Amino acid sequence: MLGVSKRVEELRFSEIRKFIPYSDGAKAKGVQVHHLNIGQPDIKTPEEFISAIKNFDEEIVKYEDSQGNKDLIDAFVKYYESINIDIDKEDVYITNGGSEAILYALLTICDLGDSVIVPEPYYTNYNTMAKMAGVDIISFRTYREDGFRIKSKEDIINSIKDNTKAIMITNPSNPTGVVYTKEEIRMISDIAKEKDLFIISDEVYREFVYDDLKFTSFMDMKDILDRVIIIDSISKRYSACGARIGALICKNRNVTENFMKMCQARLSVSSLDQVGAANLINVPKSYIEEVRIEYEKRRNILYEGLCDIPGVHCEKPSGAFYIIAKLPIDNSDDFTKWMLKDFQYNNKTVMVTPAEGFYTTEGLGKDEVRLSYCINSQDLKESMLILKKALEEYNKLRK
């Protein structure tokens, strides 16, 4: 009998996208769905990206270099220079989104059966990419009551196994919104030195930091640069998720030379998208600051709206555009499905992401959801009213 591999059978459907058929079903019935389930910004993509593609005048859309478009690589070098991080052209490898950079990084530094450690909760798609690479994810817990901070060095060290190759972290965090302090970054850096580990640092949300906090990159830790692998992307920074332009930044030549083997195997990243992305270096700095201010405003709306709902508990995020909320329910998968199939308020409903898939520890996240504040302020306010009404009705039905 024909079948598929055990490897792919063991992969899970995306926690973020698996309820889309139910969302489509609601829309087919004429119900408006507010999408708080996905980090798809509604901010307009800069005209610089669009115009560069419109003005493309080559007669042939050729393969690009496997490392990436030279103008785009130069643009990344200039961008990092603007945030006081010194990198060379040889440090930059353009990828099909940040996701490919993560997968290829794992394949480059890990053998089958090796492990990486992550603070829990973490970006759910890390699970899939680790499984594809034959790598185990080992998590150490962080707690909502502590603001999802990394409280002690021992929490990390106690998670390290003989086959652990890296610490993988998102800063600012998806899904918690925590922004790690310089002291936390220093502590993780010291552990990496002590235990001879790489650090895979997903920094795609670095611009979105609130409350006058300062972002610290692992690239700021000058004594560990040979251990640092930065994951970057234009997706969130410039509201260009569909362009699928990411990058791996690394100063370790052994890593980048071997990373290049996979870049060559997949030939190249989209030529036209790289043309558009290269021109984003000309976007005024005011664009990023205006977007950051807008997200901070939306963060406040979502957080205050959640705090007004009886039985909901959450911590105010300091960065990115997500929040983890504990709801007065037993099973967020069932609740999410019910909101899309059986509930509407004024012919509208809300789609959220169940949080269980953001944890490794069994049972955690079953009563939690991740919400994104990527939609406009009015729709966010309306979404909080709909969520409040949904929780009231859902719990009445289950009494």
pLDDT tens digits for 123-175?
Answer: 999 999 999 999 999 999 999 999 999 989 999 999 999 999 999 999 999 99
Which band of pLDDT confidence, cut at 50, 70 and 90, is reported for residue 46?
very high
Tell me what the mean pLDDT of segment 82-109 comes to. 98
Which band of pLDDT confidence, cut at 50, 70 and 90, is reported for residue 1?
confident
Task: Give the CATH number, domain containing residue 37.
Answer: 3.90.1150.10
* Mean predicted lDDT score pLDDT of the chain: 97
Q: What is the pLDDT of residue 17?
A: 86
* Residues 53, 10 share a domain: no
Has residue 76 been placed in a domain?
yes
Has residue 1 been placed in a domain?
no
Task: Give the CATH number, domain containing residue 276.
Answer: 3.40.640.10
Q: Mark which of 259, 282, 305 sits at the end of a domain.
A: 282
* Residues 224, 199 share a domain: yes
Which band of pLDDT confidence, cut at 50, 70 and 90, is reported for residue 14?
confident
Q: Mark which of 282, 297, 332 sits at the end of a domain.
A: 282
Has residue 316 been placed in a domain?
yes
Q: Identify the residue with better confidence: 352 or 11.
A: 352
Residues 198 and 169: their CA atoms lie apart, in Å, by: 11
Has residue 14 been placed in a domain?
yes
* Residues 152, 27 share a domain: no
* Residues 56, 34 share a domain: no
Q: Identify the residue with better confidence: 109 or 17.
A: 109
For the segment 329-375, what is each residue's pLDDT rounded down to a tens digit?
Answer: 999 999 999 999 999 999 999 999 999 999 999 999 999 999 999 99
* Residues 162, 37 share a domain: no
Question: Exposed, middle or buried by CB within 10 Å (0-12, 13-18, 19+), for 65?
Answer: middle
Q: What is the pLDDT of residue 359?
A: 96
Has residue 201 been placed in a domain?
yes
* Residues 23, 141 share a domain: no
* Residues 273, 293 share a domain: no
In the predicted structure, residue 122 carries a pLDDT above the cut 90: yes
Q: Mark which of 267, 282, 297 sits at the end of a domain.
A: 282
Q: Note the maximum CA span of the chain.
A: 67
* Residues 298, 227 share a domain: no
Has residue 106 been placed in a domain?
yes
Has residue 255 been placed in a domain?
yes
Q: What is the pLDDT of residue 319?
A: 98
Structural domain count, the chain: 2
Tokens of 367: 């009563």
* Residues 166, 241 share a domain: yes
Residues 198 and 210: their CA atoms lie apart, in Å, by: 28
CB proximity list for 365: less than 8 A, separation 6 or greater: 121, 332, 354, 355, 356, 357, 358, 359
* Residues 388, 265 share a domain: no
Q: What is the pLDDT of residue 231?
A: 99
* Residues 293, 174 share a domain: no
* Residues 362, 217 share a domain: no
Print the domain residue range for 193: 47-282
Cβ atoms 170, 205 nearer than 8 A: yes
Q: What is the pLDDT of residue 151?
A: 86
Has residue 217 been placed in a domain?
yes
Q: Identify the residue with better confidence: 14 or 140.
A: 140
